[in-house]
């Protein structure tokens, strides 16, 4: 399950993410496919959130990704970890295409 340490209220971030997922055509279709049991076996939906291999799927949206990167690297919670450690922590909980770029 998603266990994020976050400086803003956790529920606000997740609600915003739910809204962004259903506003994204491809991800919205994946959510529908999961509910109909026709999606790739690696995708699941829990509480309106889309997961790929138990990692939270993030829409490709620059501002959202930058917020996540900020939380995991520069915030007091992130601890200013290096690139390798920050990426490993991100990959353990999130998925978005071309994540390593």
Look at residue 39 and tell me if it is in a domain.
yes
Look at residue 101 and tell me if it is in a domain.
no
Sheet strands side by side (includes 43-46): 43-46, 49-52, 55-57, 94-95
Q: How far apart are CA 49 and CA 58, in angstroms?
A: 10
Give residue 56's pLDDT: 95
Overall pTM surpassing 0.85 (yes/no): no
Look at residue 2 and tell me if it is in a domain.
no
Q: How far apart are CA 80 and CA 47, in angstroms?
A: 31
Give residue 1's pLDDT: 42
Look at residue 100 and tell me if it is in a domain.
no
The domain that holds 43 is classified in CATH as: 1.10.340
- Ordered mean pLDDT values, 10 residues apiece, the chain (101 residues): 56 92 97 97 96 96 89 66 82 90 75
Phi, psi of 53 (to 5 degrees): 50, 45
Q: Domains in the chain: how many in total?
A: 1
Domain that holds residue 18: 10-95
Give residue 76's pLDDT: 59
């Amino acid at each position: 399950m998603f266990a994020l340490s976050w400086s803003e209220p956790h529920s606000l971030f997740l609600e915003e993410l739910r809204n962004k997922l259903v506003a994204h055509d491809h991800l919205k279709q994946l959510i529908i496919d999961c509910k109909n049991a026709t999606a790739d076996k690696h995708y699941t939906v829990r509480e309106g959130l889309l997961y790929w291999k138990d990692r939270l799927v993030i829409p490709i949206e620059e501002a959202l990704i930058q917020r996540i990167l900020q939380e995991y690297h520069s915030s007091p919670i992130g601890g200013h970890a290096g690139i390798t450690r920050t990426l490993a922590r991100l990959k353990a909980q999130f998925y978005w295409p071309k994540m390593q770029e």
